[in-house]
Structure 1
Amino acid sequence: MTHRVLPLALALTLCLAAAAPAADPQFITVGGGVGTFPIMAAKIAEVINKEFPGVRASSIPGGSDLNLKNIQSGASQVGLSISMTSHQGVNGIAHFPQPLDKVRHVMSLYRGYIHYVASARSDIRSFADITKRGYRVYVGKVGTLHHVLMTEMLKAQGITPDDIRKAGGIPNPVAYSDVVRMLQDGQLDVAMLTGPVPYGMAMELAQSPGIRLLNASEEARAKVIQALPGIGRATIPKGTYKGQDEDIQTVAYMSHLVASRELSEDFVYRLTAAMVKHMPDMRGLFAGASEIRLETALLDNPIAVHPGAKRYYDEKGVK
């Protein structure tokens, strides 16, 4: 009888151990970056520290590329990224030599709206006007997000750098940090800004020298979205900027929270719930954070969703 009880007790113990949820990690690092990312990363670390007793979370410097690579290597468990960059990283394309197969989506947060603008000093009122005479057109530095977003939209509008040159213009690959100054100084006629709506730099330019926002056709938007998974349709409402008397159709990327697939389903489920609980606090962090909502938690996401987040969204009916 004793010989029968011991194996049975051992089997029961093993079953209970297998059924027990994985222990929470002791430490979590949240990859931030520049712009709004450090603010958001610090808030996520604060939420984890408040809602997960025994877990110590801290935000660290980063950026989309570095955050994705850190999750792949195990240096970070959670981070912020831009949707388009996450797609490139997970699939090992563009500047990612190997697929980052440990990265999973947790939550779409807020969008970066692409403002395609022309100086009010020019005669440009549409993309078609760019090649009607010699204009100085920002195309961004090769290898940057801004270069891709600008040249893909120009391409979708049927405009190449050679077309700009043939018209007597200059496709200018200056740094994004120089765009505002060069528009103000009259050194650029066409450029692109990325940020929330309203965006401080766009508001500054709307005051002086004045800008016109360029409408993207639906056909052009569809081409950009197809070329760049993670990019979605967006509208800048009329009246957002001085002199803007119509809605502007454009595209946007999504800033989203990503995590390692090695974090347990239970942990990420509770992390997702904690993020939703604290959404009211997040919406006042910076311009654009008001977009953080449960209903858009999967918006414009181009990569696999972490099972823990998926379980939460399935329960809430979020699609």
Structure 2
Amino acid sequence: MRTAATTILTGTLAGAMLVAAPASAQSDRSDWPDNFTVGTASQGGTYFVYGSGWANLISDELDISGGGEVTGGPTQNLALVHGGDVAFGLTTMGPASDAVSGKSPLAPGLEMDNVCALFPMYETPFSITALADSGITSISEIPDGASIGFGPAASTSDTYFPAILEELGVDFERRNGGWTDLGGQLQDGLIDVIAFAAGIPIPAVSQLEVQTDVNIIEFTEEEQAKVLEAFPVSEFMIPASTYETLEEDARAVSMWNFAIAGCDLPEDFVYEVTKLTMENNDRMMDVHRTAATTIPENIKYNTVLPFHPGAVRWYEENGYEIDDELKLN
């Protein structure tokens, strides 16, 4: 397994250990890995910030070397976790459904059965940004042949957003890249639009609106209804408070995200990781404010992946039911 940049506990931190730490100290750690990696996504996106911060929290409080790793996003993370290349990853329910049914574009025909769910993260809104001076204020105004950045290849955005825009009759040229890089290309006039699928606020968008005027383009009611019928997404409103640019809530669609783990990771290790995460939402909120929905009540939004036995143990000890169909046999 690859190692990553780590944060080691000092005496000062040890004196401020969270309530989860004494439990971990009493656990049998003989079969725990020496280190771990969290598969995130490109720099400039919410996955990278969320995943790296979560990895540091685990590393600090459970005293184990680990960190986040830049990847191609949800689809690649499923493959990396399944193959044991990383211990943990972040993904969305659409790619997860494809992976377990053998429909992943990265491994057609391979049913990824070594991927287990840990906990709910947040909803990923699908949103569109253009420069204000482009004159593009709606999806219908995106000109034919416009160059659109869809994020890293095989990411959730790249997998679903092109199909969504095609469903809505948009003709475009497809571009891929990290969110920060695409933001720079948009600002420099090298591309016309960025179609984001990422937790909000998206760092790249926040940075853009500091440097220039942008339009954050919402779906019309009719466009939203058409997309809801055709894709595994749900209704979503981007709160006006998310960005300085927005004057009112913006209509969108979204997909749920979950943290995942290799099903063969030690049960006690995953139990302690789940316990630490679920019992310290304030610390998760310090990592990224999208973690407001990183709470056990939202486990219901996973209907695809089995939960890791270590996660199941924590949920059931705390009064949350896991459907038998979502437990490993």
TM-score in terms of structure 2 length: 0.69
- 1:151 CA drift (Å): 0.9
Aligned partner of 1:202: which letter?
V
For 2:89 and 2:189, how far apart are their aligned partners in 1? 39
C-alpha contact 2:31 2:266 (8 A) present in aligned 1:
no
For 1:198 and 1:142, how far apart are their aligned partners in 2? 18
Mean CA deviation greater in 106-115 or 72-81: 72-81
Gap change, CA 1:254 and 1:90, over 3 Å in 2: same
Mean CA deviation greater in 79-88 or 280-289: 79-88
SS of match in other structure, 2:91: strand
For 1:261 and 1:143, how far apart are their aligned partners in 2? 26
Report the identity percentage. 22
Equivalences for residues 65-214 of structure 1 within 5 A: 65=75, 67-93=77-103, 94-97=105-108, 98-131=110-143, 136-140=146-150, 143-145=153-155, 146-161=157-172, 171-176=173-178, 177-214=180-217
Residue of 26, 30, 33 corresponding to 2:32: 26
Please name the residue that 2:58 is paired with: 44
SS of match in other structure, 1:192: strand
Mean CA deviation greater in 241-250 or 64-73: 64-73
Mean CA deviation greater in 214-223 or 232-241: 214-223
Gap change, CA 1:266 and 1:181, over 3 Å in 2: closer
For 1:212 and 1:194, how far apart are their aligned partners in 2? 16
Please name the residue that 2:260 is paired with: 258
Structure 2: unaligned runs, 5 residues or longer: 1-27, 42-47, 323-329
- 1:175 CA drift (Å): 3.0
Aligned partner of 1:277: which letter?
E
SS of match in other structure, 1:288: helix
For 1:87 and 1:174, how far apart are their aligned partners in 2? 23
Please name the residue that 2:319 is paired with: 316
Radius of gyration: which is bigger? 1
Aligned partner of 2:235: which letter?
R
Gap change, CA 1:208 and 1:127, over 3 Å in 2: same
- 1:108 CA drift (Å): 1.2
Aligned partner of 2:56: which letter?
A
For 1:60 and 1:243, how far apart are their aligned partners in 2? 31
Q: Cα RMSD between the aligned structures?
A: 3.6
Please name the residue that 1:292 is paired with: 294
For 1:46 and 1:119, how far apart are their aligned partners in 2? 41
For 2:296 and 2:148, how far apart are their aligned partners in 1? 36
Please name the residue that 1:61 is paired with: 69
- 1:138 CA drift (Å): 0.4
- 1:237 CA drift (Å): 0.9
For 1:128 and 1:144, how far apart are their aligned partners in 2? 25
For 1:143 and 1:32, how far apart are their aligned partners in 2? 15
Residue of 237, 240, 256 corresponding to 2:239: 237
Please name the residue that 1:19 is paired with: none
C-alpha contact 1:284 1:290 (8 A) present in aligned 2:
no
For 1:66 and 1:175, how far apart are their aligned partners in 2? 14
Gap change, CA 1:270 and 1:142, over 3 Å in 2: closer
SS of match in other structure, 1:257: strand
Aligned partner of 2:254: which letter?
A
Gap change, CA 1:207 and 1:99, over 3 Å in 2: same
Count of paired positions: 281
For 2:149 and 2:76, how far apart are their aligned partners in 1? 24
Structure 1: unaligned runs, 5 residues or longer: 1-21, 50-55, 162-170
Gap change, CA 1:47 and 1:222, over 3 Å in 2: farther
For 1:299 and 1:74, how far apart are their aligned partners in 2? 25
Per-residue Cα deviation, 1:30-66 (whole angstroms, up to 9, x for no partner): 43334222222232344444xxxxxx56346363455
Per-residue Cα deviation, 1:221-277 (whole angstroms, up to 9, x for no partner): 465566654x54332112432342221122334442212333466664554333212
Per-residue Cα deviation, 1:261-318 (whole angstroms, up to 9, x for no partner): 3346666455433321232222102353344223324436642333443454455346
